[in-house]
Amino acid sequence: MEAAPEITAAFKLLFVGDSNVGKSSILLRFTDDLFRPPDETSATIGVDFKVHMHDVDGERYKLLLWDTAGQERFRTLTSSYYRGVHGVILVYDVSSRESFAHLDTWVEEVGAYCLDGDVVKMVVGNKIDKEAERQVSRQEGAEYARRLQALFLECSAKTRTGVRQAIEELVAKIIDTPELWRRGSPPKATVSIDESVAAGLGSGCAC
CA distance 130 to 207: 14
Query: What confidence tier does 10 reach under pLDDT thresholds 50, 70, 90?
Result: very high
Q: Which residues pair with 51 in a beta bridge?
A: 64
Q: Own/partner pairs for 179-186, CB < 8 Å, 24+ apart?
A: 179/118, 180/86, 180/118, 180/119, 180/120, 181/9, 181/11, 181/86, 182/9, 183/118, 184/84
Residue with the larger pLDDT of the pair 138 and 45: 138
Domain 7-198 has CATH 3.40.50.300: yes
Percentage of residues in the chain with pLDDT exceeding 70?
A: 73
In this model, does residue 199 exceed pLDDT 50? no
Query: Where along the chain do its domains lie?
Result: 7-198
Q: Of 52-56, 114-118, 182-186, where does mean pLDDT reach its minimum?
A: 182-186
Q: Mean pLDDT, the chain, as a whole number?
A: 81
pLDDT digits (tens, 9 = 90+) for 85-96: 999 999 999 999
Predicted TM-score (pTM) of this structure: 0.82
In this model, does residue 100 exceed pLDDT 80? yes
Query: What confidence tier does 69 reach under pLDDT thresholds 50, 70, 90?
Result: low
Angle of helix 23-32 relative to helix 163-175, nearest 10 degrees?
80
In this model, does residue 139 exceed pLDDT 50? yes
